[in-house]
Amino acid sequence: MTQPKKKVLILCTGNSARSQMAEGLLREMAGDRVDVASAGTRPVPLNPGAVAAMAEIGIDISGHRSKSVEEFLGREFDFVITVCDRARESCPVFPGRARKFHHDFEDPAASPADGRLAVFRKVRDEIRDWLSTVFLPELPQTPAPGSGS
């Protein structure tokens, strides 16, 4: 029997870089186990550096758009992940049983122009590692075909 997908919302301030990269990574890493979206407390356009850093590892987020957290108010989520301290401080309360996860990742968009892509890469890799070690173990595992589960 297939488990229902877990609903995950990833929040940041601008929804232009960190939360967008985390959304793309989680969708790739968790596959059919999640229905994932991202939003910002003060959204600004998708950052080209995030798109470039993700494209380097074969994940296309170029079609993503920045969204306001207000688009998701009133919806229930199984998990709410904040990827910056500012978003955690202003995160609205979501109804239901949402478990909260938090890690304050550096804002690559705020780094100096020369070398900015390297910062995007570093933050992308830090988010991937954090999702692998902290968040993914909290998701139900999908039974292997023929396991009888």
Please give the residue range of the domain that contains residue 39.
6-138
Task: Let me know if residue 85 belongs to a domain.
Answer: yes
Task: Let me know if residue 148 belongs to a domain.
Answer: no
Which H or E run includes 8? strand 6-12
Task: Let me know if residue 143 belongs to a domain.
Answer: no
Task: Let me know if residue 34 belongs to a domain.
Answer: yes
Task: Let me know if residue 56 belongs to a domain.
Answer: yes
Residues tagged active-site: 12, 84, 91
Query: What CATH number has the domain bearing residue 18?
Result: 3.40.50.2300
6-22 pLDDT per residue, tens? 999 999 988 999 999 99
Q: Give the pLDDT of residue 126.
A: 98
67-122 pLDDT per residue, tens? 999 999 888 899 999 998 776 666 555 556 889 899 999 999 999 989 999 999 99
130-142 pLDDT per residue, tens? 999 999 999 877 6
Is residue 21 packed enough to be buried (19+ CB in 10 Å), middle (13-18) or exposed (0-12)? buried
Looking at the structure of the chain, the number of domains it has is 1
Task: Let me know if residue 49 belongs to a domain.
Answer: yes
The pTM assigned to this predicted structure is 0.89
24-76 pLDDT per residue, tens? 999 999 988 999 999 998 999 999 999 999 999 999 999 999 999 999 988 88
How far apart, in Å, are the Cα atoms of 90 and each of 23, 28, 42?
20, 28, 10
Task: Let me know if residue 1 belongs to a domain.
Answer: no
Task: Let me know if residue 46 belongs to a domain.
Answer: yes
